[in-house]
Structure 1
């Protein structure tokens, strides 16, 4: 019996040690180095003196950077809320779709993952720019309206003024919603797919309408999936860099853009490391909040987590 136990331990070690070593060497060790840099100071152009100072964290808590953190949290929160409002009906429709169409809809949801984020962002630029597809379509409708007004003897509308849809906060939120919507839909679908549909039928048979059934039956049972979708969407949106950098203007930069400038243009690695770990601490807090909110809650199949 002891020999069999030892064989199992050896098999476990042989299986587990390579991925553990990979994580330690290529993830935890670099992360520890950056964490140590956050307690250091620049010495020349290429050296960092790890002196144990908290000056970088104190600087990161100045009103300027706290304002950028607050704006990043606000933008990520708006993005997450819009993804939830849009994604919940989409996930619900996938659950109640036929087996034939369900696979195709899921394929369409996951299709953006097959394209590089940079390419998708430049595609958004082509859609939202002054001479882009949105303004082109609006201009066409505007001209048709002017033509109809002229036809009935009214004063035409005049020249069309293109909407400024790029390089502002609207473009950043629109781009973040576009990028992160699948991260909301898939967890919601996974939670709703396990939903006991007989509970919905019982609620409707007992006189509750569809809206009441949705908020009193479906939403509570799908709460773990909702919270998971919120966390999975909020955390990447909070640390988004490429979308605000390409779609946003000078007043639309988020904390990840400030961190990037510290590591590249400012060459201030200790301060950039401190900002990075403050962002990571916020991520840990969000995950802890998720665990707290879903502790003991029933899942869609009626079991607790």
Structure 2
């Protein structure tokens, strides 16, 4: 049997993507199929799953409307807040910072990831609690300030926790920027502001959309930050899933919410890709 060059390429491709594809199928596709089956079932009398085929669980999604509203409001708000802070930082690192110091500054952005998000969130619990910033405000005469267990505390925790994930894609996009375009714009008489909004921002949009999609998708399933900084008063979809699966043991309803969350993530990703391709034209745009 003669093995052709094309057949060898297919074998190499299969060898390269086969293990990863098998891993994703076993640990991603199969669990999602199980969740999808649960979503059309009923809650067993003792809790868990009872085989059935009904859309009753999807019809009851309105009972968890608060979790959906909080998630769909605070997740995009957190992503936008991260963007507003991350873009100037990424711009400075990629364009303004001295090359000798750039690696050190980028490392400082990544350093927070070396510490567990749980530990960092607990630190914010102390800072926003009665013995933290409110106590300092009382010393200067500002009393009855409540920071913990509020949407503002959750938003602050979101920005702090996810800011590096927004900075890095924008930094990579800006770092690849052809400096000759900026010089040509200046030589043609364009003001720095016009150059920034006419050249820098459009060319960095792939990085912006990547960061926005990445942060927003992760925030849609966030559990830890709302639980600790929201004190159970600011519920996300992730908190509702934990309650339904582990406490109420209503697996079908939790599965219906999980399937709905996946659908929302897919829509967000598709919209982000469409926007990125529209503004980036024929340039390569990678969101995942």
TM-score (norm 1): 0.85
Q: Distance in 2 between matches of 1:239 and 1:88?
A: 24
- The answer to whether the Cα contact below 8 Å between 1:183 and 1:232 also exists between their aligned partners in 2 is yes
1:75 aligns with 2:74: yes
Which residue number corresponds to residue 277 of structure 2? 295
CA RMSD for the aligned pairs? Answer: 2.1
Which residue number corresponds to residue 271 of structure 1? 253
| Shift in alpha-carbon separation, 1:202–1:136, aligned structure 2, 3 A | farther
Q: CA deviation at 1:47?
A: 4.7
| Shift in alpha-carbon separation, 1:115–1:32, aligned structure 2, 3 A | same
Which residue number corresponds to residue 196 of structure 1? 178
Which residue number corresponds to residue 52 of structure 2? 51
The 5-angstrom pairing of residues 96-175 of structure 1 reads 96=95, 97-132=97-132, 134-135=133-134, 137-138=136-137, 142=140, 159-161=141-143, 163-175=145-157
SS at match of 2:280: coil
SS at match of 1:264: helix
Give the structure with higher Rg (CA): 1
The 5-angstrom pairing of residues 10-89 of structure 1 reads 10-45=11-46, 47-60=48-61, 62=62, 64-89=63-88
Q: CA deviation at 1:202?
A: 2.5
Q: CA deviation at 1:8?
A: 3.9
| Shift in alpha-carbon separation, 1:263–1:27, aligned structure 2, 3 A | same
Q: CA deviation at 1:26?
A: 2.1
1:152-194 deviation per Cα after TM superposition (whole angstroms, max 9, x unaligned): xxxxxxx452632111111000000001111110110111111
Alignment size in residue pairs: 283
Q: Distance in 2 between matches of 1:262 and 1:250?
A: 14
Q: Distance in 2 between matches of 1:2 and 1:296?
A: 43
SS at match of 1:263: helix
1:233 aligns with 2:215: yes
Q: Distance in 1 between matches of 2:177 and 2:14?
A: 38
Q: CA deviation at 1:296?
A: 5.2
- The answer to whether the Cα contact below 8 Å between 1:169 and 1:249 also exists between their aligned partners in 2 is no
1:208-255 deviation per Cα after TM superposition (whole angstroms, max 9, x unaligned): 332222222211111111111111111111221100000004431112
1:220 aligns with 2:197: no
Q: Distance in 2 between matches of 1:12 and 1:231?
A: 29
Gaps of 5+ in 1: 143-158
Gaps of 5+ in 2: none
Q: CA deviation at 1:304?
A: 5.2
Q: Distance in 2 between matches of 1:46 and 1:250?
A: 23
SS at match of 2:247: coil
